[in-house]
Amino acid sequence: MNAPVLNLTAASSTGQAMKILRATTSEIVVSVARRPEGGWPSLRLLLDGQDYATIHPGVLVPGDATVAELTIPLPRLPDGRPHAVAVMDAATGALAPGSNLRPVAITKALRALVIYPAGEVYDHDKVRWYRAPMEKLLSDYFNIGDMIVYDSTLKLLRYAHLEPMKIMNPTEADIERYASEFDYVFVRGSNFIHEKMEWFRAVEVLERVKLPVYAIGVGAQASLNRAIELSEGSKRFWSIVGDRCAAIGVRGAFSAETLRHNGVRNVEVVGCPSIFRTRNRDLAIKIPDQREIRKVAFSLRREFDSSYTANPETYIRNQRQALLKVDSQSDMVMSSHGEQEEKAFFLRDDAAKAKAVAEFVHSGWWDGPDDARMREIYEKKLFSFFDVERYDEFARGLDLAVGYRVHGVLPAVAHGVPGVLVAYDTRSQELAETLKIPVVPEAALAEGGWRAVYQEAALNALSKSYAQSYDRMRNFLVANGVPHRM
């Protein structure tokens, strides 16, 4: 065996005495900490349950370091990769978290499983909504932002084959096939960290499928910055994910604190894949003079339950006022991201449009059925889509993206379009802070439109920090051993 390589600069933040951070068919990286009494634990490395080597960190680690990473080369096996690698405390027999997982192959065509996909995949890494009859498209609510995050994540990952992991009704044959034929699992980035999240049988499946699990850009959801108490099922799910990776990648500080509050410590803030979907580290974000801005996209979020806003009446009033103000200042297009009523107009279904107008009037979104300005916007200035590639085409023609949808702004920025986000919940606020997206209060956009919130200094900060944000995401993928294309 070649000698382990010591890395003291990448100290573990997991708070665990030892942990497998990542394992491939060529090497395994282990984080190890000194014991409370000052000595280092000796480690046994096992391949498929058989002793391969004993490592003595005390011989390798100089000075007063308390935590270190060891990179241990693995042998080239004549019959392929080991089915499981494990690290054990030689004195106590305790296994390090991340043990007994299948190491990720560095050369083969990889097969990936996704938990909670959001759409149908075609041409390898492109996502569109599931094809359905018109009636179903009109009646079902689906969040197009989830579709964008899914599409963006696929563009960052390296894989040859992708399948959804069944978590509602998996069969024994499904579980056996996942365990024997696949290389890794990832959790699609979304608002999965909240009290009502349902994981069905995901914990049972993961406990039996010994593969690495990666979470990239997951987030907590609450209208206010408050403590979130997860269910025992969610705690168990995130605990398993945390054990199967070096760190769980979250959108921002609020999400990180929420997981830590619920006992999951190895968390890293990375932002959201959607802003990196073009995989261009040297992206040039255009910051034109206000006088040059013509085409402005206003991203709509008309839904307003308690998980998004603490004051629904103020929320809807501010958003309507902001929409009309932006429309008066520019050649505006209102982008809709999943609400049924907007789809009725986009798909031009007369019966559904009549029902939509009744809902608009009832909620106060329209002043009445003859609200001429709102009807003109809905009839002539509405954009929606069921294929993420269509949004890319739309975004490339914009001068500015503003509004209430994180995924109306971030994927536009990925194409070099300046963006300004309205802060109305923890999710938008933390993503804006993480990625240096200019963020403004609801009232600011409502009172002054885009001209009042278009601040070149803030947009310059976004432009200057983009490469750093890109590197943070890429370094996170590398540190976790995620097969990637960044």
Q: Point out the least confidently predicted range of 83-92, 308-317, 477-486.
A: 308-317
CA distance 211 to 180: 10
Task: Note whether 268 and 140 are same-domain residues.
Answer: yes
Task: Note whether 224 and 371 are same-domain residues.
Answer: no
- Judged against a pLDDT cut of 60, whether residue 6 lies above it is answered with no
- Where helices occur in 244-387 by DSSP H, the ranges are 253-261, 312-329, 340-346, 350-363, 372-380
Task: Note whether 321 and 195 are same-domain residues.
Answer: no
Task: Note whether 162 and 310 are same-domain residues.
Answer: no
- Judged against a pLDDT cut of 90, whether residue 438 lies above it is answered with yes
Task: Note whether 226 and 342 are same-domain residues.
Answer: no
CA distance 135 to 144: 18
What pLDDT does 343 receive? 94
Task: Note whether 340 and 446 are same-domain residues.
Answer: yes
CA distance 422 to 225: 16
Q: How many other C-beta atoms can be found within 10 angstroms of the C-beta atom of residue 240?
A: 17
pLDDT per position as a tens digit, 351-371: 999 999 999 999 999 999 999
CA distance 381 to 150: 27
pLDDT per position as a tens digit, 446-483: 999 999 999 999 999 999 999 999 999 999 999 999 99
- Mean pLDDT (whole number) for 165-182: 97
Task: Note whether 321 and 372 are same-domain residues.
Answer: yes
Strands (DSSP E) contained in 270-326 are: 295-299
Read off the tokens for 331: 């050649």
Residue 100 maps to a domain: no
CA distance 181 to 75: 22
Domain edge (last residue) among 89, 124, 158: 89
- Mean pLDDT (whole number) for 4-12: 50
Residue 97 maps to a domain: no
User: SS3 breakdown of the chain: % helix, strand, coil, rounded to 5?
Assistant: 35, 20, 40
What pLDDT does 4 receive? 62
| Tally of domains in the chain | 3
pLDDT per position as a tens digit, 285-308: 999 999 999 999 999 999 766 655
Domain edge (last residue) among 38, 54, 89: 89
Is 480:245 a contact under the CB 8 Å cutoff?
A: yes
- Mean pLDDT (whole number) for 216-236: 89
User: How large is the angle between the packed helices 426-435 and 406-413, nearest 10 degrees?
Assistant: 20
Beta bridge partners of 72: 28
Task: Note whether 261 and 395 are same-domain residues.
Answer: no
Q: Point out the least confidently predicted range of 75-79, 259-263, 330-334, 468-472.
A: 75-79
Residue 286 maps to a domain: no
CA angle 332, 336, 341 (to 5 degrees): 120
Q: pLDDT-derived band of residue 2, with 50, 70 and 90 as boundaries?
A: low
Task: Note whether 435 and 306 are same-domain residues.
Answer: yes
- Mean pLDDT (whole number) for 189-198: 94
Q: pLDDT-derived band of residue 260, with 50, 70 and 90 as boundaries?
A: very high
What pLDDT does 5 receive? 61
The CATH number of the domain holding residue 309 is: 3.40.50
Highest mean pLDDT among 218-222, 224-228, 426-430, 448-452: 448-452
- Judged against a pLDDT cut of 70, whether residue 167 lies above it is answered with yes
User: How large is the angle between the packed helices 406-413 and 388-395, nearest 10 degrees?
Assistant: 60
Buried b (16+ CB within 10 A) or exposed e, 247-283: bbbbbbbbbbbbbeebebbbbbbbbbbbbbbeeeeeb
Residue 486 maps to a domain: no
Residue 458 maps to a domain: yes
CA distance 211 to 222: 31
What pLDDT does 225 receive? 73
- Mean pLDDT (whole number) for 202-220: 97
Q: 99 — alpha (psi -120 to 50), left (phi > 0) or beta?
A: beta
First CA to last CA across the chain, in angstroms? 32
- Judged against a pLDDT cut of 90, whether residue 174 lies above it is answered with yes
- Mean pLDDT (whole number) for 418-428: 86
Task: Note whether 418 and 306 are same-domain residues.
Answer: yes
pLDDT exceeding 70 applies to what percent of the chain?
A: 94
Residue 103 maps to a domain: no
Residue 101 maps to a domain: no
Residue 285 maps to a domain: no
Residue-averaged pLDDT of the chain: 92
Q: pLDDT-derived band of residue 79, with 50, 70 and 90 as boundaries?
A: low
Task: Note whether 80 and 120 are same-domain residues.
Answer: no
What pLDDT does 142 receive? 80
Q: Higher-confidence residue: 429 or 200?
A: 200
- φ, ψ at 299 (rounded to 5°): -90, 125
What pLDDT does 96 receive? 97
Domain of residue 433, residue span:
295-466
pLDDT per position as a tens digit, 35-78: 999 899 999 999 999 999 999 998 888 888 899 999 999 988 76
Alpha-carbon distances of 310 from 134, 223, 224, 225, rounded to whole Å: 34, 6, 7, 11
What pLDDT does 465 receive? 97
Helix (H, G, I), strand (E, B) or coil at 172: helix
Task: Note whether 59 and 117 are same-domain residues.
Answer: no
pLDDT per position as a tens digit, 11-23: 444 467 899 999 9
What pLDDT does 12 receive? 41
What pLDDT does 134 receive? 79
* pTM of structure: 0.93
What pLDDT does 77 receive? 73
Q: Point out the least confidently predicted range of 16-20, 30-34, 92-96, 224-228.
A: 224-228
